[in-house]
Copies of this chain bind each other. A is one copy, B any other.
Amino acid sequence: MFKRLLMPALLAAIAGCAAQTAGQSGPLLNAKVILVIGDGMDDQQIAIARDYLVGMDGRLTLDRMPERISAQVRTVYEDDPGRPKYVGDSASGGTAMAAGVPVSVGRIGTTAGSDQDLPNILEMARAAGLKTAIVTTSRITDATPASFVAHINNRYCQVPEEMVKVDEDFPQDSTDCSADYKTNGGPGSIAEQIADSDIDLIFGGGSSDFDAFIDGVESQTVGQTALANGFEILRSPEELEDPPDDTKLIGLFASGHLPELLRGTDGARAEFVEHVDGKPVWPEAFGCEENPAHEGAPKLVDMTATALDVLGRRQGFMLVIESASIDKASHYWRPCGHIGELGQLDETVQLVLDYAARNPETLVLVTADHGSSAQLVPEKTDLSLQNAAPPGRFARILTPEGSVMGVSYATNDSPFWEDHSGVHVPLYLSGPRATELPQFVYQTDVFNIAATHLGLADSWPRQ
């Protein structure tokens, strides 16, 4: 449910507060926050990617950042919002970071149980006169970007026709966002909310979401609505090189999510270990190769470069960047997919750090929304002589340094996807006051850190 009347009043109050805080603490309009989210990027996912990408003696750009602390995930039960739930998703994790409030799994910018809209950090920044942008490798309507731009009770209400859906095969994916239908006076689906937003730039995939007709007006697509609202829409990577100036930008560089950069040789991924006469047949080790499906798609670093170029012409901003498919590759047993996407994130972090070096008022945060399934285990179990093998899906990855790494996926035995993990996640920082944090904070503190740096609040986490 939404509170149309409440939100503008809240944001006006925030703008007032921001102006006041800014007066106290310095030039608000100069402050910049770049938040990089590795979707599902917990320490296991980083360790697997590091060993492949730079070797056991090497260091990722992440590893060279000045600070790394940890953040406790923040999720509660929908039917009992005071009770903590130990495993979250991109919606609850994204909303915790965007709005500073723990919510239930699947919620986008709305409270658990009571379905109230929560102002998010990008809205607050815009209300205070700052620029805002999102870059992602997923559909721009996916849960992580949506958490920073929309308010709706279900992450899967991405386009008008998905607002009410009964999924008989996966009842847990059914939706009822009917209260938010535009025809009911609501803000509509996530795509419609993006088209109606004042975000300065949002790049990623999901062009098909913008070809959908908006609710109640079958002659107008969501994309046409965006154009009518002053957005220009980029659709080819070439357009990234010379983007139009002085206009809001939507970038839609794939029909759905952007394809993963790497894949296992010939598409190899983790599989259940076969057994012959009760003995496991160890899967052949495979390396990673460029994913042909990625050809023609922009890299995360390319989209980010354009975003920084566009934003960099102006004073003060918050930019959210997501490497989305660390999570998706872990869901679907693709270790090379996850390794490649973490590599994309790492490359993008280097670009961001270079930008921050030239713009020292920039605070860089790199974190994850939740943990994932992949676990770094022996390439052959220590019990291999006893014919033991991993019970879940398993891959043996041949690394460039000539060793073999075991990666296990064993959160469930379904043919559909793996679950998340409830482990705390890393939070890397670089920039003003980055060293002035306790080494353990809550995921909601990402909001507090960013809001304080931007002069929107005075809620810097303390021990």
Contacts and interface: CB of A to CB of B under 8 A. Distances in A.
A150 to B, nearest CB: 22
Contacts of A420: 377-378
Interface stretch (A15-23, A257-265, A382-390): A382-390
Contact of A440 (B64, B72, B386, B422): B64
B388 A414 contact: yes
A51 to B, nearest CB: 5
Number of copies: 2
B65 A439 contact: yes
A86 B376 CA distance: 8
A147 interface: no
B378 A375 contact: no
A63 interface: yes
A417 interface: yes
Interface centre among A63, A65, A391 (most CB of B within 10 A): A391
Interface stretch (A236-244, A315-323, A402-410): A402-410
A255 to B, nearest CB: 26
Interface string A396-418: 00000111011010111110110
Contacts of A117: none
Interface stretch (A40-48, A157-165, A293-301): A40-48
Contacts of A422: 47, 51, 376-378, 405
A346 B64 CA distance: 29
A422 B95 CA distance: 31
Interface in A353-375: 371, 373, 375
Contacts of A406: 86-87
Contact of A421 (B74, B377, B388): B377
Interface in A199-231: none
Contact of A382 (B172, B378, B403, B408): B172
B65 A68 contact: no
Interface in A226-279: none
A413 B55 CA distance: 29
B411 A390 contact: yes
B392 A83 contact: no
A424 interface: yes
Nearest to A442: B57
Contact of A385 (B83, B85, B170, B389): B170
B383 A416 contact: yes
Contacts of A424: 43, 46-47, 50
A458 interface: no
Contacts of A401: 83-84
Contact of A412 (B72, B389, B428): B389
B375 A388 contact: no
A192 interface: no
Interface of A: 42-44, 46-47, 50-51, 55-57, 59, 62-70, 72, 74, 77, 83-87, 169-172, 371, 373, 375-379, 381-383, 385-386, 388-392, 401-403, 405-406, 408, 410-414, 416-417, 419-424, 428, 435, 438-440, 463
Enumerate the 4 nearest inter-chain pairs by beta-carbon distance, A residue then B residue, closest first. A410-B410, A388-B414, A56-B84, A63-B440
